[in-house]
Amino acid sequence: MSDLPLEHVHIAPDDPSDEPAPAVFILHGRGANEEDLLPVARSLPDSLHIVSLQAPNRLQGGYTWYDLDLSGGGLHQSQPDAADFERSRELISESIDAAVGAYGIDADHIGLFGFSQGAITSLSLLLDAPDRYEWVVALHGYLPASHSDVDPAGIADTPVLLAAGDADEIIPAARTEAAADRFATLGAAVEYASYAGGHGIGPAEHEAIVEFVTAQVS
């Protein structure tokens, strides 16, 4: 495994070639690790490099991208700790740069796939550098206050899939829907749906993810 700033798992395309290939970078949720989303990632098109990154900060038996700022009124109004959040986004960006060279990734065809904290981070990375990412899947996340008014050039028509759980008690669907509305206002090609269930990926949501990503890389 090549050295990246973040620990990771890399899965090469099924039919490797000497030409650079598209990639998806996977960002897990709070308290999980780089293995957590691999069952979903492995169902994505086999033409993709899959690079699943591990968050830098330990949290009990897993890892987290940042501590929570609960000053706004509790978990449902939580925001990322600003310093942690900036550091993690920098580490992810540096890891993507390193992976492009290490694994023969096509830098013009990179997608982001995040769940919960990983979704929040993915949406923010897109706003940080919209020309860098071809598409984003953001599941059970929200748009943090640090990025709520960001209006970058280059985001128009970028495909963004957002999904929520109608019984999600960690990140209520209303927060995800608000993020979808904001990205639609910015001109992104937004797909949003709320699924039956809580803070997890059910079969219908999984199917929608595969359909969306397949459409982006076909």
Mean pLDDT, residues 133-145: 98
Mean pLDDT (whole number) for 188-193? 98
Checking if the pLDDT of 2 tops 80, the result is no
* pLDDT of 150 higher than 90: yes
Beta strands, E only, the chain? 8-11, 21-27, 49-53, 57-59, 62-64, 68-69, 79-80, 105-115, 135-139, 159-165, 189-195
Mean pLDDT, residues 122-128 taken together: 98
Which amino acid is residue 193, in one-letter code? A
Mean of all residue pLDDT scores within the chain = 96
**Mean pLDDT on 27-41:** 97
- Architecture in CATH of 8-217: 3-Layer(aba) Sandwich (3.40)
pLDDT at 74: 76
Burial of residue 30 (number of CB atoms within 10 Å: 0-12, 13-18, 19+): buried
**DSSP label at 198?**
S
Q: Report CA torsion sign: 209, 211, 216, 217.
A: positive
Confidence at residue 1, expressed as pLDDT on a 0 to 100 scale? 62
**Alpha carbon 37 to its chain's center:** 11
The answer to whether 217 and 47 are in contact (CB under 8 A) is yes
pLDDT-derived band at 27, boundaries 50, 70, 90? very high
Q: Token match 């953001």: residue?
A: 138
Question: What are the φ and ψ backbone dihedral angles of 50, each rounded to 5 degrees?
Answer: -110, 125
Q: What's the whole-number mean pLDDT along residues 139-151?
A: 97
For 74, phi then psi, to 5°, come to 115, -175
pLDDT of 70? 86
Decide if pLDDT at 100 tops 80. Answer: yes
Confidence of residue 184 (pLDDT cuts 50, 70, 90): very high
What is the rounded distance in angstroms from the CA atom of residue 66 to the CA atom of residue 80? 6
Q: Is the pLDDT of residue 210 over 90?
A: yes
Residue ranges per structural domain of the chain: 8-217
pLDDT in tens, 49-74: 999 999 999 998 999 999 998 887 77
Q: How confident is the model at residue 47 (pLDDT cuts 50, 70, 90)?
A: very high
Q: What is the pLDDT of residues 102-111, one digit of tens each?
A: 999 999 999 9
pLDDT at 18 over 90: no
**pLDDT for residue 218:** 83
CB 33 within 8 A of CB 58: no
